[in-house]
Structure 1
């Protein structure tokens, strides 16, 4: 995995402003071969894209050119669009997808630029290489790749032998490729990334970080659109879990969950370390947007994963700062263009920060429970004023501060009592008094005289803040009555106690010191305010969102369901060979269908031919069928014109079958505003035909009803989808042709005769998800690759965590985020397979492989890459 940089070469080829040189080293010739091989593969895939081969090829070529120009930063090009490039609901592709096109384009352009020495630069010395793989690690990576390749071979064998297909489903041989390809896509780019990290280690790290942050921003923007379009931003009670644009969740799964926990740590680390005001503002917006996306997943796994992942990240980042501080400014060796490292927070200040956070969290729960949203808003004002306290409060001596605290408390009690009486006498006075107290606090903050000791000023500030605290209790009392009064009073006592302790012992104040003044101080305060908003959102969501309460209350039942599912899934492995080497990549769904319980016999589809004509064989599941449990074959269509919609269907069936035909507004798995019909199809046979024969083809026309204006608003458009599903257990209907016309006579379906196989057609199981996944990442690997695969992957995972926490890579700027991302993946992966979603698997294996070689440059410390 070692990389050799470009060397001087004779015979440059002039192409305008570009200077290309023929390869001069063995690795450059290998890079040329890799680039040409990836180019041929990518061009072939692009040309066969179901939507438009010409457009796909043009877009692929543009990516090749961009990757050639920015070959050092190909991680940026690969990761940034990752959550937005899944077009399967439009194209019908699941084995191959846009991820494959992107990787082959970046690999082709990057390797050709490296081999032909485009933008050539001198090779960095070995001690400046950002990615270094030891021989043992190289062997481990090769063993992982061999295990995955062997599982593909076994998957083909279990499926009846290799058979190529562009549109294979989960039961067919090419599903083995879909499930295993993620690691090979990463390995295709890893030598290029190693060369890039050798040529420009910091540029490579910046590209990696920026790519992951942009990916998070794109994924969260898609989640924001989905909530605006389908539920409303503040609707936390509807049974709707965000899926964004991760088509892999069409049969359930946790693709969005895994994506969030692996990218959010990098955005938070960048936010904590950037010094640019505009970057900080953008980073803060991305972090808040990500927090919203996390909350709307309603995923208990994500809620558990983030604390477990972010706590080690904070500790590792703090340990990095301490090592740099201990080395002294002369030996830190930081890149001067990236700024100095903040001094680590003293222990008492950390204790004070924890006390403040705990008091606010407790207060938020108490106030919201009795005082509702208005009480919670008043509490936010209290905390904002507290965080804006000037450093001059601690300039007077201890006795002066104690006197100001006691007198301020007494004066605030008098003001609070008068305010309470006024609020009882005058309607809405509670809100006015709270606003006046807030204005007094703001005015006093503006009258601060930095560096001057003014005991009277301390008294006034303390009195005003305590009065604001009392008006918060009054607001809660006015809104919630007796319950609101006493819960808010308890919350106020907790906050008053914390502030009193911090005023008397200045070492407890987390924003005290030179590093917390000026721009740096307001930057930290902005982070704390963002944290307050997040805590408030969590409290409001848990207290006001019925769906989340139901999710949290059902954890025991869901846990038992998963244990049973894992037990049944492992019983599908037969014999020592399958336990050792696995049953094969992509074989869980088919094995579960044929050998599992009745609930696992979900519906399916196959593309067949009859006298040279293609048709779709659609079958219904044998489990209990309901509105969300039906297996649907669908196509995203243009928004139909309002009015009557007609459907023409050519089909046959061997027995009576109820076929549901619907047009709905639907992103992925939650249909809404559906209009359609349910028809009972009966077999039509000749008198001499056997009773179990499929019957003759019958053409019928149905009315789907009068469809109103669909598609949502222009600023939050909704996708419109046509779907067909069987509502009869175990039934089969063959569909030869299907066409839909709206009130203006426009044809809404493409490839309705299936002569282009399953192009434009997609499938989903909206709520019956267990049969499609092992629901545990480790058990998923065990099923597909056996104990050997689990041991190899587990060894690589532990090795990465060890070397980035305690080993050679621990001082790399991104090491804490890598550790947090992998811990988050493992936590969410305890409850879902994750690796059966190629984009999530690609992101995981990229972080894993990079983590195995990542190391800090000598003297780098924690130089920022943000």
Structure 2
């Protein structure tokens, strides 16, 4: 099913060249099939690009550039495809949801890659079978075929449930094309799998590195988008506002956990790359990506993500450590592993592990205590204390035990005297507490710089110990200056805990987890940098929990939310009728309409339809039948340029059958959290001729509304905010037909595009800010069960279990990316226990990519695990 399509590279008849570029006609039947696949994906991609709502010309140009890049770099095509994934969702601007930029990029990479392989562009020598990086057994091939057949059957049943297949460029969640939107992720991954099989055969290491690079760059891009969102809309350190980060994942316009699933599937690859890199520059870059991602994780305020982190990171570390141990061994099990990337670091002794745990626990306790009383200033001072502790030189342990004990006792006395004088000065002189903390820090740094490795200097030990204890006391002074009595006593308790841990480690060298690395060894700076990053992460968690009321509230309501989820799952499963639907599912993409028509009133959300009347298009907008609040309104929106300050005017041609309240808003919003809104709510009444049927929809009427007091919008240049115009109905079950709508700002500029809907829903987008349950099954397994039945769930579950088994214990366990793929799938399953995930195409594509590759990846001679720190 998946031929090993390694390019031959020997001269072929009909060879022609363009400078250094050499192409050949397909020489094998595999290359012939690749040529057909490339042409087919090119036709599909060009047709999609031509119809892009924003600009067909620009879309075609971008598609062509992506296809050319994929042709040149086809072995590393996963990097080209995955890296921009979190940034290319333009649905809030384009109005496209059935098709999107993911489809354009996938077809471009497939077209360019398949044509490059078929025409032998940059031909590779044919790799022997034992060098093929992706190998699928017949049983696995049957399983993949069964997965594809189940997904195809689910889409067909979805079309049938929607009343038959009807093609449309702008279908919503109720129409047949939603089955395509929900089901395409697997088929996009399958369409590229033969190309990736060829790449893994031609250059196994290049393909693996391309996959790793693509996922790490994707994580960096998504995390930067999250950082921008927080900076623009809430502020970086605001953990109390009811605002959950969505980044640029438009799929969260009706709630969901697209960003959550993306983070847990990409973060393991960045962590694995960070552990294995030996270059200081790449290490610094990787550390920056991980810290950015940690901030994004924190600001999701997702309990599922927080739960997933330990559940996926522990297996990641254990599997990577097992790979390291096998690489360090001398038996036949390690004979095929690469040994060219440096010596394997020795594992920590048992007492050193105990010391590391004690240090981590002491810091976590200290951070909690200090932040409670001393706030952010006390927490920063504590960070300096720990940073200096982590760079303690190995020469401190050269003196005898008695000399080290003397240094601890005398150093504590000297620090007590210095601390008392410093406290008195901080009371007398404003801001002196911060200056003294910096002076103590500089003293510690200067003494560390004056270290003489290999020399026994008891006085030096005394000075280092005294200066560090003094730095610890200034941390207490900073907390006292900021937080008063509470800050003083909480930080004093924290200082005693840290001082006790350090004293024990200085007296018992085996407890010190960093001493074996030496003062200048290559592992020393990496371990210390990782520990410093860990300190920053702990501080971030403490600050979010201690300083963020929103996160505390979410943590406090987990039980109530769990009961809501259970009720929602039961009600969702009641929508499956009869053995056939339980076995084969109700159909892909059919949960929302089934819930709408058969669920309770709370599930009857708003909707829209495009209609025509005498050749003129109009939008039929309906409100939900649930309790409507500002956050529960169903909105149709368009992103606009920032309006000029003053009064904006809306011209509307509409009709209605009953009284309805129309809400028109101009807000700054990224997706579902409006801010700085200017709105007008108008009561609309039907207009009918005398004697007309009162139940019939009224006649068309033209009205003008004013939105007064519009202020400067758009945010700062360094943190821009998107400006959105939206319309909604604040009337339960109400309906309004809109034929034309126009918005002009105070300067008379027209701000809306496609206000007559003659281009269907181009540029228009919909959202539900707070009412999310009716849009999702809220569990990935139950989502698959609903759409594809028990058969589809069993097939997908079997594939996931098989990947976890073969990459943890089987043939693929020594592949460099095996620990990260296992961790990513565990993270996906954990977050998927609380959300659907697979109803977001980009998240589904990443998941199926990792799943399909995990079914075939294997370690190769000379291509095994890189070294782990």
TM-score with structure 2 setting the length: 0.97
1:271 to 2:274 alignment: yes
2:66 corresponds to: 63
Matched residue SS, 1:136: helix
Indicate the residue corresponding to 1:699 in structure 2: 702
Q: 5 Å matches for 1:699-738?
A: 699-738=702-741
Deviations 1:582-611 (A, max 9, x none): 110000000111111111101000000111
Residues 653 and 733 in structure 1, CA contact (< 8 A), matched pair in contact too: yes
With over 3 angstroms needed to count, the CA separation of the structure-2 counterparts of 1:863 and 1:413, relative to structure 1, is: same
Which range moves more in the overlay, 609-618 or 298-307?
298-307
Q: Of 119, 125, 129, which aligns to 1:122? A: 125
Cα-to-partner distance string for 1:331-351 (whole Å, 9 max, x where unaligned): 666657644443333333222
**CA offset at residue 487 of structure 1?**
1.9
Structure 1 residues 427 and 737: CA distance shift in structure 2, 3 A = closer
Distance in 1, Cα, partners of 2:402 & 2:315: 40
1:83 partnered with 2:89: no
Superposition deviation, residue 185 in structure 1: 0.4
Partner of 1:35: 38
Q: How many residues were matched structurally?
A: 866
| Contact 1:645–1:740 (Cα < 8 Å) also in 2 | yes
Aligned positions of 1:442-521 closer than 5 A: 442-514=445-517, 517-521=520-524
Displacement of 1:417 in angstroms is 4.0
Match of 1:293 in 2: 296
Note the C-alpha offset of 1:429.
4.1
Deviation at 1:307, TM superposition (A): 1.6
**Does 84-93 or 522-531 show the bigger shift?**
522-531
After superposition, the C-alpha distances for 1:739-787 in whole angstroms (9 at most, x for unaligned) are 1112222211111111111111100001111100001111101110111
Decide which of 437, 440, 452 is 1:437's aligned counterpart. 440
CA contact (8 A) 2:453 2:519 kept: no
* Residue 4 in structure 1 maps to residue 27 in structure 2: no
> Following TM superposition, by how much is the alpha carbon of 1:274 offset from its aligned partner in structure 2, in angstroms?
1.0
Structure 2 residue aligned with 1:99: 102
* In structure 2, C-alpha distance between the alignment counterparts of 1:572 and 1:808, rounded to whole Å: 42
Within a 5 Å distance, the mapping from 1:632-651 to structure 2 comes to 632-651=635-654
Q: How far is the alpha carbon of 1:126 from its aligned partner?
A: 1.4
Structure 2: distance between partners of 1:314 and 1:600: 43
Structure-2 separation of matches of 1:467 and 1:643? 59
Q: Structure 2 CA distance, aligned partners of 1:626 and 1:657?
A: 15
Residue 478 of structure 1 and its aligned partner are, at CA, apart by 3.2
Q: Say whether the 8 Å CA contact 1:209–1:865 is kept in structure 2.
A: no
Q: Structure 1 residues 329 and 853 mapped into 2: Cα distance closer, same or farther (>3 Å)?
A: closer
**Distance in 1 separating the partners of 2:714 and 2:484:** 44
2:846 is the alignment partner of 1:843: yes
- Structure 2 residue aligned with 1:611: 614
> What's the offset of the Cα at 1:357?
1.1
The answer to whether structure 1 residue 743 and structure 2 residue 746 are counterparts is: yes
1:218 alignment partner, one of 221, 226, 246: 221
Q: 1:162 matched to which residue of 2?
A: 165
* Aligned 8 A contact 1:262 1:825 in 2: yes
- 8 A contact 1:516–1:524 mirrored in 2: no
Conserved in 2, the CA contact under 8 Å of 1:391 and 1:450? yes
Which stretch shifts more, 221-230 or 598-607? Answer: 221-230
**Is the partner of 1:853 in helix, strand or coil?**
coil
CA distance in 2 between partners of 1:864 and 1:835 (Å): 34
Give structure 1 stretches of 5+ with no counterpart: none
Contact kept in structure 2, 1:392 and 1:453, CA below 8 Å: yes
- Matches of 1:354 and 1:123, distance apart in 2: 50
Please give the per-residue CA displacement for 1:180-203, whole angstroms capped at 9, x wherever unaligned.
100000000011001100100010
- SS of alignment partner, residue 120 of structure 2: coil
Distance 2:164 2:670 in 1: 35
Relative distance call for 1:333 and 1:158 in structure 2 (3 A) is closer
Counterpart of 1:302 in structure 2 is 305
Q: 1:233 aligns with which of 218, 231, 236?
A: 236
Q: Which residue of 1 aligns with 2:389?
A: 386
Instruction: Measure, in 1, the Cα distance between the counterparts of 2:359 and 2:408.
Output: 18
Residues 664 and 725 in structure 2, CA contact (< 8 A), matched pair in contact too:
yes
| Aligned mate of 2:814, from 811, 834, 838 | 811
1:527 equivalent in alignment to 2:502: no
> Separation in 1 of the partners of 2:43 and 2:489?
72
Structure 1 residues 423 and 232: CA distance shift in structure 2, 3 A: closer
1:322-361 correspondence runs (5 A)? 322-327=325-330, 338-361=341-364
Matches of 1:741 and 1:675, distance apart in 2: 14
Summarize the Cα distance change of 1:415–1:643 in structure 2 as closer, same or farther, 3 Å threshold: closer
d(CA) in 2 for partners of 1:17, 1:413:
74
Q: Which residue pairs with 1:622 in the alignment? A: 625
TM-score after normalising by structure 1: 0.97
8 Å contact from structure 1 (residues 331, 859) kept in 2: no
Q: Structure 2 CA distance, aligned partners of 1:515 and 1:331?
A: 27
Task: Indicate which of 249, 252, 257 corresponds to 1:249.
Answer: 252
Deviation of 1:283 after TM superposition, in Å, equals 1.2
2:47 alignment partner in structure 1: 44
What do residues 93-145 of structure 1 show as CA deviations (whole Å, max 9, x unaligned)? 10000000100110011011111111101111111111111111111111111
Of residues 394-403 and 805-814 in structure 1, the stretch that sits farther from structure 2 once superposed is 394-403
Contact 1:222 1:245 (8 Å CA) reproduced: yes
SS in 2 for 1:513: helix
Matched, 1:150 2:153: yes
Confirm or deny: 8 A CA contact 2:379 2:539 kept in the other structure: yes
Do the aligned partners of 2:7 and 2:123 also contact (CA within 8 Å) in 1? yes
**Structure 1 residue 732: Cα displacement:** 0.4
Paired with 1:573 and 1:330, the residues of 2 have a C-alpha distance of 50
